[in-house]
Structure 1
Amino acid sequence: MKTLLHPSYFPSISHFVAIAQSDTVTFEIEDNFQKQTNRNRTYIYSPNGIQLLNIPIKHSNLAHQKTKEIKIESEFDWQKQHFKSLEAAYRSSPFFEYFEDDLMPIFQKKYNFLMDLNLEAFDIVCKCLRMKLEFDTTTEYFHEIDNPEINDFRYLVNGKKDPSVFEKYTQVFDDKFGFLNNLSVLDLLFNEGRYAMDYLKNQVLIR
């Protein structure tokens, strides 16, 4: 079965559940950018509870701008801030140090376009998960997908419309705030390590 998804910044666990249970993946790159979605944000489990990491983007005067044309605002040192937040959240997790070097390029390399960063982050996470997966990209935009052989999971990029509820796993600060559901896949990776793939394959997506 083929799955259609939006590329997003260190995607939610639900994204990777969909990917882990698919034969092939197609990324939507012809859509118009929408604010307040996971296209340029992700959520982690910080010492103070859930924390949003947001990539600043350059604003345009155009009414509609394609996501693949969105540029990152480089005046803010968001990469340094995001990595510090990840350190504070996961330095004491079982697998942070194991994957730290693999993930570091995302926080050191300078990106002009959000799409390039998202696709590279996806590729790095796949390697960390030892997930062998090839993907392609859309060549035109369709609002509705009328093909029973394609799972349209593009709605997952809007976290507010994602109803997914997953099995609990041990999180660093769950003694303070309990289990936080469907965070960035990084939360699962740092806490579960090599067991993360088994977890992803065993979860059920709610549509």
Structure 2
Amino acid sequence: MKDQILPLFYLPNISWFIQYLENNTEVIIEKFENFPKQTFRNRTNIYGANGKLTLVIPINHTGNRLYKNTEISYAENWQKQHWKSIKTAYQSSPYFEFYEDRFAKIYEKKEKFLFDFNLKALEILIQLLKIDKKFQFSESYKTESSALDLRQSFSAKKESTETFENYYQTFGEKFGFIQDLSVCDLLFNLGPESLIYLKKSYNKL
């Protein structure tokens, strides 16, 4: 069984989860990398009332470069803002009310470190998606690895080149289908069918 190394994202996008579910692989979450700026490690894309909306977690610039030691800034109440943006975007979607209370737990606690916050959010998403695949953490940073290295994949600066099957999106009639948003877009619109969609999409890659 082959290993694959994945970065830890904030509410990861659909292509991240498709890769996570790859058959016959052990998933290793990278824990010892330096924090790269302008990536999905502290941002995610959702479908808002005016199209694609990017939510960014602010960080404290303490001089520490390790991702796992990168501190979240609470100078502004970004948790309240992000949750409000998500509610506004998805409150009329088919399954928002079904997941709302459990999803809201992501924003209840002020984690000191970005890595810990993202990990908690990922664990909640995995539960909601009913994914039974486990992961482990890297024990040190390796520039080169025998595992499939996806740490530099999933660019936040470029439009996704992945083409996935269209699914219902709340504002789709207004702006058209938007590819590869946060998996929460899939979850709130497809509900229990989300895992089937992810597995089917993997089989088409």
| TM-score of Structure 1 vs Structure 2, range by shorter chain | over 0.9
Partner amino acid, structure 2, of 1:156: S
Preserved CA contact (<8 Å) 2:59 2:71 = yes
- Structural RMSD (CA): 1.8
2:117 maps to a residue whose letter is L
State the 1:204 CA deviation.
Answer: 4.2
Distance 1:28 1:77 in 2: 28
Measured after TM superposition, the shift of residue 133 of structure 1 is 2.2
Equivalence for 2:19: 18
TM-score (norm 2): 0.92
1:18 CA displacement:
0.7
Aligned 8 A contact 1:18 1:205 in 2 = no
3-state SS, counterpart of residue 159 of structure 1: coil
Deviation at 1:164, TM superposition (A): 2.1
Q: What is the Cα deviation at residue 93 of structure 1?
A: 0.4
Q: How far off is 1:152 after superposition?
A: 2.1
Tell me which amino acid in the other structure corresponds to 2:152: Y
Pairwise mapping of residues 17-96 of structure 1 onto structure 2 (< 5 A)? Answer: 17-22=18-23, 23-61=25-63, 65-96=65-96
Does the residue aligned with 2:152 lie in a helix, a strand or coil? helix
Note if contact 2:38-2:156 (Cα within 8 Å) is conserved in structure 1. Answer: no
1 CA distance for matches of 2:150 and 2:204? 11
Matched, 1:159 2:156: yes
The CA distance in 2 between the partners of 1:127 and 1:15, in whole Å, is 16
Structure 1 residue ranges (4+ consecutive) displaced by more than 4 angstroms after TM superposition:
204-207
- Structure 1 counterpart SS, 2:102: helix
Per mean C-alpha deviation after superposition, the further-off stretch among 163-172 and 88-97 is 163-172
Matching residue of 1:121: 121
Letter in 1 for 2:10: Y
What residue is the counterpart of 1:136 in the other structure?
136
Shift of 1:157: 4.4
Q: How many residues align structurally?
A: 202
State the Cα deviation string for residues 139-191 of structure 1 (Å, max 9, x = none): 1112232x2xx332222343336532211111000011100000000000001
The amino acid that maps onto 1:33 is F
Q: Which residue of 1 aligns with 2:190?
A: 192
The unaligned stretches of length 5 or more in structure 2 are: none
Shift of 1:206: 10
Q: Which amino acid aligns with 2:118?
A: N
Contact 1:7-1:28 at 8 Å conserved across structures = yes
